[in-house]
């Protein structure tokens, strides 16, 4: 044998033989195939060489076949160029088998070109020879010819699992025969004057085989049946004589010529079923040995493994072959595949030989993955499909995504609120912040606080940010320069220069510094920090305010509560250094020594404290030693607002704002406000985190005029709403809308990409003449309630976003666009502003398909006809108008939901739309 061949063991799923100058048995250390039959991709499995068997007669292997035998798992039949077939027991050299005693000697000196054991009748060996004038080229040898019934190995699934004692005895008998020179007998011979190219068992159970032979330059594939006198049962000519092989379904044959692969269907073999031409010679071609048929081949100098896999039909008549290319691990090394062999036991397992490397390879099954809104991830892998379902999903999702009504001291009970209450108590609608990450949460809380604080003074809600607040003032009033001395050290002459103005004080308040002395404001940063045991921070803030007494108290408290020694040390050191600066403030060297020590502290607040204390006073200090520390932005800003002069302050704040905008640090909103630069900041944050919820919640507070400049703000809101819709959290989405309209005082509107320009401010318009139905928005400054009422009519018939306010319990399929204006439908609104007809074209506006009342009619009690669903959620949404995206019929949500609780089809007669099936919550 010129080149190395590789063979899987038919007896052990993890063994293979490398057959070249010698036979080497390799054993992979772990089975690639588990109990379940599911293959694990191994790539290069670790292998051990268990046997190394030098052959007696080197280079005299023409072909070989591994004997499928449990008793003798290492016996090979080897065909030689001189026509002799020898048996080698690789495991046991002393075995007489290996002494060359058992041979099948040729009658004529011609090469044995092919050998094949019958997998079902392991006593049958098929051999093929070169042409000889008078001899047959095909022979079946029975190595158990004495009339004994041949034991069959149940080989269907591979291992003869139930290989009984009798079988073993049978093998022993073979053994006996093998040791007897007389043991081998040809039981079938065929093919006089023909040359065999390749052969294969076709239906091993019935002892049928196929072979490709040449006679008079005609290449023919024949299927032989030893039971039939004439021998051949099927014959057809072929152009591909080599690598003949048969598939597992015992229906297809494949063979190759130099560069072409042919696949034949034995039921209609006249014409090749598949002809595939390749650019390079075919190196090897073989069907897999188990499982559904797959034909693998490799071509010269190519690392690619070609695979034709068959897709069977239940009706077995038109199988389809799918060509697939596989890249093997070998491909990384750009080595051509030299050979491969299919495993006998594992369907998709191969050994690939490339260069000197072997790869135990499992053909990867295609696996796909898809995110889906409700079920998380959907993953298919081969024959299996997995969905990862989040248990407690809805709760989890709901609390993750949105708000809660924080009413009547019941913090966690969601939606326990009637609409009346919620509209009357806009103040107490709060965001459910608990599910957010800590930093985001505190930031949003802070922003809310800022808005609250500033909104009393100025126009309703724009939060302008520290920079703008200071800028607005500066032309008119200048900050007053003061000298502040350390509290409790009354007689000291050492002071620090501070700058003061009303605006600067507001800044201090915003940053949470104002409550040191008075607890009037809602925000007590100190207290919240103390709760988190941030004693050093609080102490630092007091130090920055030169309130040494409180700082000491805080540190003592921390020391007592937390028992941290270092806090006590710190307070001593602080006190000492302050005293020292008081007395030695002109002693440069002392300060230098001291500060060089304090710079070694690890904690930024501690370092900043000492740096502040040790900085000599001056008029235009920039305090880099404090402001460049890793302090919270709050503290930096408050500090700067206290100790920097106007010019430096502006520069510093601009710098800080730019930094946080770059980083997308939400804290920076303190500086930028929710103006354009603030929006850019949020966008940067969003780009990094994809945290659309935070962005959308903040967007609520962005003033309307900024919306015009930064249109993407609207996209955050819409993106969030679309996301909620996709998650089927329509109620949350509607709550979000309501909340938003409360904050912004505008009627909510929904996204429509293409009519946005036309209809930007008019969310609802007559379906016939497109006249906006909204009354003047000015009427509804306080509550948006009356505005929407008249607008409970569809604008355009194109519904793009499936907007639905409903909950699970309420009506399901109808999409509700008016939900956006749902705040309008609250009961206290008067029926007197009803619009029954369009004011312009006088067309009657849509009515509820159940009660036939105008959709703008408030329903006092919808339960007259149906039992109301015992679901709290309906309370909120029952007044909303809802409709189906497909048939566009709809009505009052409560009516419709009651209808669909009992029916599947649209309430409109002759409309067969099964509205509820669209999202299936009712199913």
Cβ distance to another protein smaller for residue 371 or 864: 371
Identify which of 686, 688, 743 has the alpha carbon closest to the alpha carbon of residue 715.
686
The answer to whether residue 275 forms part of the interface with another protein (CB under 8 A) is: no
- The minimum distance between CB 703 and another protein, in angstroms, equals 16
Residue in the block written with tokens 């070169």 = 130
Decide: is 395 part of the binding site for another protein (CB under 8 A).
no
Residues 283-312 contacting another protein, CB under 8 A: 292, 309, 311-312
370 interacts with another protein by CB under 8 A? yes
Rounded Cα distance between 844 and 644, Å, is 67
Q: Measured in whole angstroms, how far is the alpha carbon of residue 574 from the centre of its chain?
A: 52
Q: Considering the complex, what minimum distance in angstroms separates the CB of residue 301 from another protein?
A: 17
Site for another protein in 15-34 (CB under 8 A): 34
**DSSP tag of 740:** H
- Does 490 engage in binding with another protein (CB under 8 A)? no
DSSP string, 776-798: -GGGGSS-SHHHHHTT-S-S-S-
For residue 567, give the nearest of 591, 597, 537, 595 by alpha carbon: 537
761 binding another protein? (CB under 8 A): no
Pick the closer one to another protein by CB: 133 or 438.
Answer: 438
CB under 8 A: which stretch of 12-20, 241-249, 615-623, 794-802 binds another protein? 794-802
Shortest distance, position 674 Cβ to another protein, whole Å: 16
CA-to-CA separations, 427 to 452, 679, 743, 800, in angstroms, rounded: 10, 24, 9, 33
Q: Identify which of 632, 645, 706, 709 has the alpha carbon closest to the alpha carbon of residue 671.
A: 632
The set of residues, in sequence order, having a beta carbon less than 8 Å from that of 379 and lying 6+ positions away, is 367, 368, 369, 370, 385, 386, 387, 388
We find the least distance from the C-beta atom of residue 498 to another protein, in angstroms, to be 36
Distance CA(541)–CA(899), nearest Å, equals 63
User: Looking at beta carbons only, is 520 or 757 nearer to another protein?
Assistant: 757
Binder among 446, 514, 615, 683 for another protein (CB under 8 A): 683
CB of 726 to another protein, least distance (A): 6
Question: Min. distance of Cβ 676 from another protein in angstroms?
Answer: 8
Q: Is 754 in the site for another protein (CB under 8 A)?
A: yes
Q: 440 or 545: whose CB is closer to another protein?
A: 440
Q: Which of 21, 148, 176, 389 binds another protein (CB under 8 A)?
A: 389
Least CB distance from residue 441 to another protein, whole Å? 8
Tokens of 330: 């070998």
Site string for another protein, 879-908 (x = CB under 8 A): ------xx----------------xxx---
CA distances from 777 to 203, 594, 850, 857 (A): 85, 65, 30, 20
273 binds another protein (CB under 8 A): no
Q: 342-360: string of b/e by CB count within 10 Å (b at 16+)?
A: bbbbbbbbbbbbbeeebbb
Kindly tell me which residue out of 105, 169, 258, 384 binds another protein, with binding defined by CB under 8 A: 384
Q: Determine the 3-state secondary structure of 699 from DSSP.
A: helix
Q: Which two tokens stand for residue 910?
A: 């002759």
> Is residue 359 a contact point for another protein (CB under 8 A)?
no
Min dist CB 525 to another protein, Å, is: 21
> Does 208 contact another protein by CB under 8 A?
no
For residue 741, count other CB atoms closer than 10 A to its CB.
Answer: 26
Q: Does 380 bind another protein (CB under 8 A)?
A: yes
If the CB atoms of residues 367 and 781 are measured against another protein, the closer one turns out to be 367
Interface pattern 691-730 for another protein (x via CB under 8 A): xxxxx-------------xxxx--xx--xx--xx-xxx--
Per-residue tokens: 531: 């709760």
Binding of residue 314 to another protein (CB under 8 A): yes
Q: Nearer to another protein by C-beta: 253 or 727?
A: 727
Between CA 176 and CA 178 the distance in angstroms is: 5
Under the binding rule (CB under 8 A), the answer on residue 37 touching another protein is no
Sequence-separated contacts (24+) of 920-923 with Cβ below 8 Å: 920/812, 921/728, 921/808, 921/812, 921/813, 922/812, 922/813
Instruction: Restricting to residues 316-335, name those near another protein by CB under 8 A.
Output: 318, 320, 322, 327, 331
Q: Does 383 bind another protein (CB under 8 A)?
A: yes
Which of residues 628 and 687 has its CB atom nearest to another protein in the complex? 687
* Beta-strand pair 274-277/282-287: unpaired
Stretch that binds another protein, among 225-233, 243-251, 824-832, 915-923 (CB under 8 A): 915-923
Minimum CB distance to another protein smaller for 78 or for 729: 729
User: Minimum distance between the CB of residue 28 and another protein, rounded to whole angstroms?
Assistant: 17
User: Quick check: 622 binds another protein (CB under 8 A)?
Assistant: no
* Least distance CB 609 / another protein (angstroms): 28
User: Is residue 800 near another protein by the rule CB under 8 A?
Assistant: yes
Q: Could you tell me the smallest distance in angstroms from the CB atom of residue 396 to another protein? A: 6
Q: What are the backbone dihedrals phi and psi of residue 407, each rounded to the nearest 5 degrees, phi first?
A: -120, 160
Q: Which is nearer to another protein, 227 or 808 (CB)?
A: 808
The single residue among 50, 218, 372, 408 that binds another protein, judged by CB under 8 A, is 372
Backbone dihedral region of 616: left (phi > 0), alpha (psi from -120 to 50 degrees) or beta? Answer: beta
User: Is residue 374 involved in binding another protein (CB under 8 A)?
Assistant: yes
> Nearer Cβ to another protein, position 105 or 687?
687
Q: Which stretch binds another protein (CB under 8 A): 218-226, 361-369, 582-590, 773-781?
A: 361-369
Among residue numbers 638 through 677, which ones bind another protein (CB under 8 A)?
676
Phi-psi bin for 291: left (phi > 0), alpha (psi -120 to 50), beta?
left
The residues, ordered by sequence, that sit 6+ positions from 778 with a Cβ below 8 Å of its Cβ are: none
Map the footprint of another protein across residues 415-444, applying CB under 8 A.
Answer: 435-438, 440-441
Closest CB to another protein among 34 and 502?
34
Instruction: Decide: helix, strand or coil at residue 760.
Output: coil
- DSSP annotation of 93 reads T
758 binds another protein (CB under 8 A): no
Question: Two tokens at 655?
Answer: 């710098």
Reported for 201-207, long-range contacts at CB under 8 A and 24+ positions apart, including other chains, are 201/116, 201/118, 201/119, 201/126, 201/246, 202/246, 202/250, 202/253, 202/266, 203/250, 204/118, 204/119, 204/120, 204/121, 205/120, 205/121, 207/118, 207/121, 207/124, 207/140
Question: How many residues would you count in the chain?
Answer: 923
168, 176, 275, 369: residue in contact with another protein (rule CB under 8 A): 369
| Residues 86-115 close enough to bind another protein by CB under 8 A | none
Which residue in this structure is represented by tokens 């008067």? 830
Answer for the pair 360, 330: CB distance below 8 angstroms, yes or no. Answer: no
Q: Looking at 388-396, 650-658, 773-781, 818-826, which segment touches another protein (CB under 8 A)? A: 388-396
**Piece of 48-56, 349-357, 395-403, 451-459 that binds another protein (CB under 8 A):** 395-403
Interface residue with another protein among 215, 220, 302, 381 (CB under 8 A) is: 381
Tell me which of 49, 164, 375, 839 binds another protein, using CB under 8 A: 375
- What residue has token string 């005609």? 218
> Minimum Å distance from CB 349 to another protein?
14
**The only residue of 75, 97, 397, 649 in contact with another protein, by rule CB under 8 A:** 397
Q: State the number of binding residues for another protein (CB under 8 A).
A: 100
Q: Which H/E stretch holds residue 94? A: none
Compute CA distances 803 → 32, 641, 716, 783, 878, whole Å.
51, 47, 16, 23, 15
Pick from 388, 415, 553: nearest CA to 874 = 415
Q: What does the block give as tokens for 485?
A: 């001395």
Q: Return the H-helix or E-strand segment holding 568.
A: helix 565-584
């Amino acid at each position: 044998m010129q080149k190395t061949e590789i063979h899987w063991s038919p007896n052990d799923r993890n063994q293979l033989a490398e057959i070249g100058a010698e036979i080497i048995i390799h054993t992979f250390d772990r089975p690639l195939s588990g109990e379940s039959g599911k293959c694990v991709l191994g790539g290069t499995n670790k292998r051990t060489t268990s046997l190394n068997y030098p052959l007696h007669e080197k280079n005299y292997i023409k072909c070989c076949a591994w004997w499928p035998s449990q008793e003798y798992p290492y016996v090979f039949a080897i065909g030689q160029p001189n026509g002799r077939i020898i048996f080698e027991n690789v495991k046991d050299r002393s075995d007489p088998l290996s002494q060359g005693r058992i041979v099948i000697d040729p009658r004529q000196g011609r090469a044995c070109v092919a050998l094949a054991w019958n997998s079902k009748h392991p006593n049958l060996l098929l051999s093929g020879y070169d042409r000889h004038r008078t001899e047959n080229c095909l022979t079946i040898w029975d190595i158990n010819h004495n009339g004994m019934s041949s034991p069959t190995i149940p080989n269907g699934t591979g291992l003869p699992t139930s290989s009984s004692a009798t079988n073993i005895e049978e093998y022993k008998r073979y053994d006996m025969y093998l040791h007897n020179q007389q043991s081998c007998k040809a039981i079938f011979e065929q093919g006089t004057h023909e040359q065999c190219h390749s052969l294969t068992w076709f239906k091993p159970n019935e002892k049928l085989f196929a072979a490709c032979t040449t006679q008079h330059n005609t290449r023919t594939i024949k299927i032989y049946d030893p039971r039939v006198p004439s021998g051949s049962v099927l014959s057809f000519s072929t152009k591909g004589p080599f690598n003949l092989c048969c598939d597992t379904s015992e229906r297809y044959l494949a063979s190759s010529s130099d560069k072409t692969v042919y696949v034949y269907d034995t039921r209609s073999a006249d014409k090749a079923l598949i002809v595939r031409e390749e650019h390079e010679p075919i190196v090897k071609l073989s069907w897999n040995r188990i499982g559904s048929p797959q034909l693998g081949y490799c071509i010269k100098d190519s690392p690619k493994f070609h695979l034709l896999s068959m897709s069977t039909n239940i009706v077995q008549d038109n199988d389809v072959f799918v060509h697939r290319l596989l890249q093997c691990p070998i491909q990384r090394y750009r080595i051509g595949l030299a050979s491969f062999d299919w495993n006998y036991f594992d369907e998709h397992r191969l050994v690939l030989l490339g260069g000197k490397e072997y790869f135990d390879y499992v053909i990867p099954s295609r696996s796909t993955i898809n995110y889906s809104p409700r079920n998380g991830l959907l993953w298919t892998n081969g024959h299996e499909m997995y969905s990862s379902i989040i248990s407690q999903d809805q709760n989890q999702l709901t609390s993750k995504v949105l708000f809660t009504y924080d009413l009547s001291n019941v913090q966690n009970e969601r939606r326990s609120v009637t609409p009346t209450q919620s509209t009357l108590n806009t103040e107490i609608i709060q965001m459910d912040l608990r599910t957010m990450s800590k930093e985001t949460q505190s930031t949003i809380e802070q922003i809310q606080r800022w808005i609250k604080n500033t909104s009393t003074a100025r126009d309703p809600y724009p939060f302008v940010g520290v920079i703008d607040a200071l800028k607005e003032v500066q032309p008119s009033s200048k900050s007053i320069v003061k000298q502040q001395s350390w509290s409790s050290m009354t007689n000291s002459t050492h002071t620090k220069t501070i700058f003061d103005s009303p605006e600067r004080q507001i800044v201090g308040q915003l940053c949470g510094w104002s409550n040191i002395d008075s607890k009037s404001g809602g925000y007590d940063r100190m207290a919240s920090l103390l709760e988190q045991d941030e004693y050093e921070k609080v102490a630092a803030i007091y130090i920055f305010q030169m309130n040494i007494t409180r700082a000491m108290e805080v540190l003592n408290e921390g020391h007592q509560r937390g028992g941290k020694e270092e806090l006590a040390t710190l307070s001593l050191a602080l006190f000492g250094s302050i005293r020292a600066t008081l007395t030695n403030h002109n002693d440069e060297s002392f300060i230098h020594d001291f500060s060089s020590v304090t710079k070694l502290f690890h904690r930024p607040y501690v370092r900043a404290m000492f740096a502040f204390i040790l900085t000599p006073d001056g008029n235009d200090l920039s305090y880099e030693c404090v402001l460049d520390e890793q302090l919270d932005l709050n503290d930096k800003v408050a500090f700067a607002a206290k100790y920097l002069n106007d010019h430096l302050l502006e520069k510093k704040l601009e710098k800080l704002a730019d930094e946080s905008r770059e980083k997308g640090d939400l804290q920076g909103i303190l500086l930028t406000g929710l103006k354009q630069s603030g929006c850019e900041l949020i966008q940067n944050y969003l780009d990094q985190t994809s945290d659309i919820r935070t962005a959308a919640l903040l967007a609520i507070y962005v003033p309307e005029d900024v919306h015009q400049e930064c249109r993407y703000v609207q996209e955050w809101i819409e993106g969030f709403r679309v996301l909620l819709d996709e998650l089927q959290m329509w109620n949350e989405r509607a709550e979000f809308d309501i909340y938003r309209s409360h904050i912004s005082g505008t009627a909510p509107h929904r996204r429509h990409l293409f009519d946005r320009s036309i209809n930007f401010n008019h969310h609802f318009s007559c379906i016939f003449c497109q006249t906006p139905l909204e009354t003047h928005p000015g009427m509804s400054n306080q509550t948006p309630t009356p505005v929407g009422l008249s607008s409970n009519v569809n604008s355009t018939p194109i519904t793009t976003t499936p907007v639905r306010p409903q909950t699970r319990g309420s009506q399901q399929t109808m999409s509700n666009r008016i939900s956006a204006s749902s705040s309008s439908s609250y009961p206290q609104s008067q029926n007197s502003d009803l619009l029954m007809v369009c004011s312009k074209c006088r067309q009657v506006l849509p009515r509820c398909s159940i009660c036939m009342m105008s959709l703008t009619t408030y329903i006092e009690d919808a339960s007259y006809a149906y039992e109301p669903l015992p679901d709290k959620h309906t309370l909120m949404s029952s007044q909303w108008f809802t409709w189906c995206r497909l048939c566009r019929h709809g009505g009052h949500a409560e009516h419709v939901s009651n209808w669909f609780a009992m029916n599947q089809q649209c309430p409109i007669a002759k409309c067969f739309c099964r509205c509820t099936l669209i999202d299936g919550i009712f199913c």
